[in-house]
Chain A
C-alpha cells in the first residue's frame, strides 16, 4: 500500500499553471527526494498532498485512501517558510502544536522534552522563540513536525540555512526515522544530500514531472559516459573525437563522452601522447548533472541558465 499516491493532479492559479498532470507514488519506508528548480511547483504539490489547497483535477490518496483530513494526524509537515509564534515560550509552543496534532498535553510535553534533548537544544526550552538563533528555531520546527510520530514526514527544504554539523544531525535523524519504517519526503536543491540519502526521487520542472523512480533506476538509465581525469603534461587528448564536452581545470578535467566505449579511446590517446595520468575515473553522471540536463531540456538551453541554481 503506497503512503502517498498522486494521480494526474493539476492546479492553476489565475493564469499560471502551477502543477500539470503530475502523478507520483511514495512507498512506506522510503526516503523520497522531490527535486526541481525554484518555482517549479514543489511547494504547490506538497500543499495539495496535505489538503491545504485542493487540486483543480486529479486525485490525492494518503495511506491507501482518498484524501481525508483525519489522515493528517499521521502526517508531519515542515513548511518551507518557517513559522513559529515569536513571543511564545518554546515548550508552550511545542505542546500547543503537539495538541493540535491530537496529542494529550502530558504526552506532548514529555515528547517535546525528549526531542529537545535528542537534537541538543535543551537550553532553549524555557526561552521565547524570538530570542533564539535561526538554526535553533528551525530545529524547533523540525521537532514540531515529528512530535505526533507521523508515518509520513514531509519536509520542504529541511536543511536550508543550517550549519554542516546541525544539517548532519537532522539528516541522521531522518535516516533513523526511515529505518523505523516511516516514509520521508523532502524537497531540496542540494543534490549531494539527495544522492546520499534518497531511495527514490521525482524531478519536477515547470509543474511537470520530468523524471521519477528509484535512485538506482534513474542512475542506471544513464550511460557511464563521464570521466574524471587527473593528469599532467600534454592536454591535446581532450580534443579527442569521443569527447562531447570537456571542462579543464588545469590538470583536473571533467569529460562527457558520446558513448561508454569512448573512455578507452581517450585513455589510449593520452598514453600515446605521453600525458602522465594520475587518475582516470569512469563514472555514471551525478544527479546534479542529470538534474541540470533534464531541466535545461524542459526549458530550452538558454532560458535554463538563469533558472537552474542547483
Chain B
C-alpha cells in the first residue's frame, strides 16, 4: 500500500504543478460558460427579420398579419402588401436578387366559413423560423378576426389571447426554474464528459511517457505492476477531483454572490451524486485507458485506439436529448444502466428527475462489477505490455498476455 501511495503522490504533485493543469482549470469553465452564454444570447436574439411580400385581395387580413409579423413576439419582419395579381416572375426575380425572402399568396375560400388557402414560397425552404412565425401569426390573426365577428371586444380578445404562465414547482413546493435546472443538468453532463475523457487519456499518456523514457525498468525493480497501475489511476484521478472541486467551489462562490438573481441552483444531492458517478466513471475509463497505454508505444498509436474510449461517451451524448425529454421512459431506464454510459446518463437523470433508489443502486453495482472486470484484464495487459517495446501487439498476442499471471 505504501508504494501505491508513493506513486499516487508523485503523480499528483507533479501534475498539479504543471502549467497545463492551471490552464485547463481556468479555460474549461471559461469556454463552457462562454459557449452557454453565447447560445443563450443567440437564442434570445433570434427573432426573424425576413422581408416578405403578401399577395392578397383581403386587405383587412393582410393588414392584421402585417401588424402581427412586424411587432410579434418572435418576429420583426418587413412585410409588403401587394395586389393579388402581382406577377410571380417579378417576385422570383427579387428573391434571386436577395431583395425578398419569400412571398405569401392568400387565396380566399370559395365557401363562406372556410379558411382561405395560404401558399408560402420562401427563398430557402430551410428557413423554418420565418415560416413558423407566419404560421403562428396567421393563427393569431384568424382567431382575432373570428372573435371580432362574434362581437367580442378588443380588450377581451387581448385578455383571452395573453400567454399562460405555468408555474413549475419543485418537490418541496418552492417555485423552481425548469430552464435553469436543465442548464445545470447539461453543464454537469458535459463537465463529466470532458473530465472523464481528459483524465482517462492522461492515464494512458502517463503510461506511454514512462514507457518511452524507460522509467518502468527502474520502478519495476522494486514494485509490482499492479501497485504501479493502482497508484497511477489514484494519483491522476485525484488531480481530476481537485479540478472539479475547484470548479464547484468557484461556482458555489459565484452563485452565493449573485444570490437569487442567477436562479441557478445546484442541490447537495446533485453534487454528491456527481462526485460519486465521476469517480466511478473515471475509474472505469482510466482502467480501459491504462490497457490502451500499455499496448501502444506512442501518442500517435494511442490516437488510433482512442475510439474505444470515445464510442461509449459519444453514444451517451446521442442519448442526451431523448433522456432530457423523457427521463423515465423505458429506453432511458435501460441505457442509463449500461455501465459505460451510466456515469453520464444516470447522473443526468438524477439532475432532471430523481430515478427510483433501486435504479441508482443497480447502476452503481453494475459499474463496480465492470470496473473489477476491466481492471482484471487491464492489469494483465499492463503487466506484460509495459515491458514490450517496438512492435504493436495484435489481438491474438494480447489474448495470450491475459493468460500470463
Which residues of A pack against B, CB within 8 Å? 50, 52-53, 69, 72-73, 75, 77, 79-88, 96-97, 99-101, 141, 144
Contact = CB atoms under 8 A, between A and B. Distances in A.
A100 B222 contact: yes
A72 B217 CA distance: 14
Nearest to A86: B213
Contact of A83 (B6, B214, B223, B224): B214
Contacts of A141: 218
Contacts of B99: none
B387 A84 contact: no
A72 B221 CA distance: 7
Contact of A52 (B14, B213, B387): B387
21 contacts: A50-B221, A52-B221, A72-B221, A72-B222, A79-B217, A79-B221, A80-B217, A81-B214, A83-B210, A83-B214, A83-B215, A83-B217, A83-B218, A84-B215, A84-B218, A85-B14, A85-B213, A86-B213, A96-B10, A99-B6, A100-B219
A231 B260 CA distance: 105
A251 B387 CA distance: 52
Interface string B210-240: 1001111111111110000000000000000
B224 to A, nearest CB: 7
A82 B214 contact: yes
B216 A100 contact: no
A80 B14 CA distance: 26
Contacts of B262: none
Contacts of B18: 87
B221 A75 contact: yes
B242 interface: no
Contact of B218 (A77, A86, A99): A77
Interface in B329-354: none
A159 B223 CA distance: 26
A203 B326 CA distance: 74
B3 interface: yes
Q: Which 7 A-B pairs have the closest CB atoms?
A: A83-B214, A79-B217, A83-B215, A81-B214, A77-B221, A100-B222, A52-B220
A82 B223 CA distance: 17
A12 to B, nearest CB: 12
Nearest to B215: A83
A50 B218 CA distance: 11
B14 A100 contact: no
A53 to B, nearest CB: 7
Given A77-B217, A83-B214, A97-B218, 8 more contacts: A52-B220, A52-B387, A81-B217, A84-B213, A88-B14, A100-B3, A100-B6, A141-B218
A86 B212 CA distance: 11
A136 B135 CA distance: 78
B226 to A, nearest CB: 12
A66 B222 CA distance: 17
Nearest to A75: B221
B395 to A, nearest CB: 15
A109 to B, nearest CB: 14
A169 to B, nearest CB: 21
B392 to A, nearest CB: 15
Contacts of A77: 217-218, 221
B214 A79 contact: yes
